[in-house]
A and B are shown apart, each in its own frame.
Chain A
Amino acid sequence: MFKLESQDLHLYYGPKHALKGISMGVDANSVAAFIGPSGCGKSTFLRCFNRMNDLIPNVKMEGRVLLDDNDIYDSDTDVYEHRKRIGMVFQKANPFPKSIYENVAYGLRIVGEKSRSIIDEAVETALTQAALWDEVKDSLKKSALALSGGQQQRLCIARAIAVKPSVLLMDEPASSLDPLSTTKIEDLIYTLKKDYTIVIVTHNMQQAARVSDKTAFFYLGELIEYDNTDKIFTNPSKEATQNYISGRFG
């Protein structure tokens, strides 16, 4: 059984056929990386897992997406409850213009948690897990916008994991960060794997090779190849994959 699974998933933006019959599964407590040239559909596919595409007008979807074998597009799935189980980290760090503490506490506040001690504890745990606690523990009341870019992105990770989701989706989480911050995020992904199932979209193939267990290569809305990361990067079975990872196109 997969933690996350898609079965023959098609997605249309108006007349544009953006995802063409994608079937794949992600094991629990593993990291799956999505690679492929811009516009290949990997981010769109990622957003299917927490139904963020619902927010875009004119999007039509066919097929099934399963979390723990439950269809998340089923009519009796509560989309808000579902999104609480699946955390998301975006390409550009997007902390709220609130204090560091309030950013991490946000997920608890929206479910109506009132207890100060429970929120305090969740904030500390999440920031510790995101390897940010030591840097910010004395300035929790300060604005999150005063943090550096790398810190902001780790804050966004802390915000996402504070509500204890089981899956973490990351859409190019390090693409706008300096190398040092990128290393920190990658180390973090490696540690977080213990507790979460992680799906990461990346343009950086070294990054995919470093952090992921399995890698999926997308091209023009199709899943070309999906296999163990070692195999994809050393001995891919499709020529298109070989061409892409060796930098011949894309």
Chain B
Amino acid sequence: MNKRNRKNTAKIKDQLFKYFAILCTGFGLLALGVLLVDIISRGMGRINWSFFSNLPSRHFSESGIYTALIGTASLLFFTILVALPIGISSGIYLQEYGARNRFARFVEINIANLAGVPSVIYGILGLQFFVRIAGLGSSILAGALTLALLIMPIVIVATREALKAVPNSLRDASLGMGATKWQTTSRVVLPAAWGGILTGIILSISRAIGETAPLIVVGALVYVPFVPEGPLDQYTTLPIQIFNWTSRPQQGFMNNAAAGIIVLLAFTFLLNGIAIFLRNRWYNKIKL
């Protein structure tokens, strides 16, 4: 009898927890849903061709995200140019070549920690090193270098994880045939890990797209009525443009901000979608 009672209590607890979990999930989805509906109902009306092609303006109906888009694009271009070669190479070195000792573990833990440092800290670092000491001023290059530092740990960690997932038997097969370490890495291990590395790269880019705080610190402008022409020009980005519009009192600018958010969300959803797609395809391939 006692045993049966205990069994029943356990069953009830099990059910209770299930409903609690459903409730929590539902709450999260609801919050997201309300946000999306609000943003779309406010901003959708502003999304048209001129919103993408107009410069910012004092009049909200003529204001567009052209300079912000160009700024974001050029910023990402230089960020990727710097972060990927260094990040991927570091990941390869640490995983395939580096010794397995205490120093290696120390480096490993620190890189993982760097991936969790608040982004504004990177902004302050960038302000001191790139803007002031290197004399780059509030240029695209200074912003890109700062963002590159920010996403590099993510790229390194993703590269290492992807390489770790490649079974050692493949390395043995290649080395056993007389291939050198580099031949093995470049011809067998990297191609097998590429899907995972690419996923990490895309996720890090989608992180960089949305960053605002460090860029404000290194001096991205809030209002840029011109298009940057080179890496040393001043610039603004999409999140900063949105930030600017939300601080205006007029309702029209709020709608502009909502429209900007829709564009930004579309980009990040797209990038994350591609990343998930690639990751699934890669897992299926490597697990066979």
Instruction: List B contacts of A156 (CB < 8 A).
Output: 173
Chain B minimum-CB-distance residue to A95: B173
Pairwise interchain contact B176-A80, C-beta atoms closer than 8 A: no
The CA of A95 and the CA of B188, in the complex, are separated in Å by: 10
Q: List 22 A-B contacts (CB under 8 A).
A: A55-B172, A57-B100, A80-B178, A80-B179, A82-B178, A83-B178, A84-B177, A88-B177, A94-B167, A94-B170, A94-B173, A96-B170, A96-B173, A97-B286, A97-B288, A106-B174, A107-B177, A110-B178, A145-B285, A145-B288, A159-B177, A163-B178
Chain B minimum-CB-distance residue to A88: B176
**Is there a chain B Cβ closer than 8 Å to A223's Cβ?**
no
Instruction: List B contacts of A163 (CB < 8 A).
Output: 177-178
**Is there a chain A Cβ closer than 8 Å to B191's Cβ?**
yes
Instruction: List B contacts of A90 (CB < 8 A).
Output: 169, 172-173, 176
Q: Which 7 residue pairs spanning A and B have beta carbons closest together?
A: A84-B178, A83-B178, A94-B169, A88-B176, A145-B288, A94-B173, A80-B178
Chain B minimum-CB-distance residue to A79: B178
Instruction: List B contacts of A52 (CB < 8 A).
Output: 172, 175-176
7 more contacts with CB within 8 A, not counting A81-B178, A83-B178, A97-B288, are A80-B178, A82-B178, A92-B169, A96-B170, A106-B187, A145-B288, A160-B176
**Is there a chain A Cβ closer than 8 Å to B280's Cβ?**
no
**Is there a chain A Cβ closer than 8 Å to B183's Cβ?**
yes
- A49 to nearest B CB, angstroms? 11
Pairwise interchain contact A83-B175, C-beta atoms closer than 8 A: yes
Instruction: List A contacts of B170 (CB < 8 A).
Output: 94, 96-97
Chain A minimum-CB-distance residue to B176: A88
Contact with B along A55-82 (1 / 0, CB 8 A): 1010000000000000000000000111
**Is there a chain A Cβ closer than 8 Å to B192's Cβ?**
yes
Interfacial residues, chain B to chain A (CB-CB below 8 A): 100, 167, 169-170, 172-180, 183, 187-188, 191-192, 285-286, 288
Chain A minimum-CB-distance residue to B101: A57
- Looking at chain A, what size class is its interface with the partner chain? 20 to 34
> With contacts A94-B167, A94-B170, A97-B286 known, is A109 near B178, CB below 8 A?
no
Within 8 A of B (CB), among A91-107: 92, 94-98, 106-107
Instruction: List B contacts of A57 (CB < 8 A).
Output: 100
Point out the residue from A95, A98, A107 that lies within 8 Å of B178, measured CB to CB. A107
The CA of A52 and the CA of B176, in the complex, are separated in Å by: 7
**Is there a chain B Cβ closer than 8 Å to A6's Cβ?**
no
The CA of A98 and the CA of B173, in the complex, are separated in Å by: 13
The CA of A18 and the CA of B21, in the complex, are separated in Å by: 54
The CA of A88 and the CA of B172, in the complex, are separated in Å by: 9
Pairwise interchain contact B177-A83, C-beta atoms closer than 8 A: yes
Instruction: List B contacts of A81 (CB < 8 A).
Output: 178
Instruction: List B contacts of A202 (CB < 8 A).
Output: none
Instruction: List B contacts of A95 (CB < 8 A).
Output: 173
**Is there a chain B Cβ closer than 8 Å to A87's Cβ?**
yes
**Is there a chain B Cβ closer than 8 Å to A50's Cβ?**
yes
Pairwise interchain contact B187-A55, C-beta atoms closer than 8 A: no
The CA of A246 and the CA of B169, in the complex, are separated in Å by: 33
Pairwise interchain contact A97-B192, C-beta atoms closer than 8 A: yes
Point out the residue from A55, A92, A145, A160 that lies within 8 Å of B177, measured CB to CB. A160
Instruction: List A contacts of B188 (CB < 8 A).
Output: 96
- A207 to nearest B CB, angstroms? 22
Pairwise interchain contact B172-A97, C-beta atoms closer than 8 A: no
> With contacts A84-B178, A107-B178 known, is A97 near B285, CB below 8 A?
yes
The CA of A81 and the CA of B170, in the complex, are separated in Å by: 19
Instruction: List A contacts of B285 (CB < 8 A).
Output: 97, 145
Chain A minimum-CB-distance residue to B288: A145
Residue of A50, A90, A92, A97 most packed against chain B (CB within 10 A): A97
Pairwise interchain contact A110-B179, C-beta atoms closer than 8 A: yes
Chain B minimum-CB-distance residue to A91: B169
The CA of A171 and the CA of B188, in the complex, are separated in Å by: 21
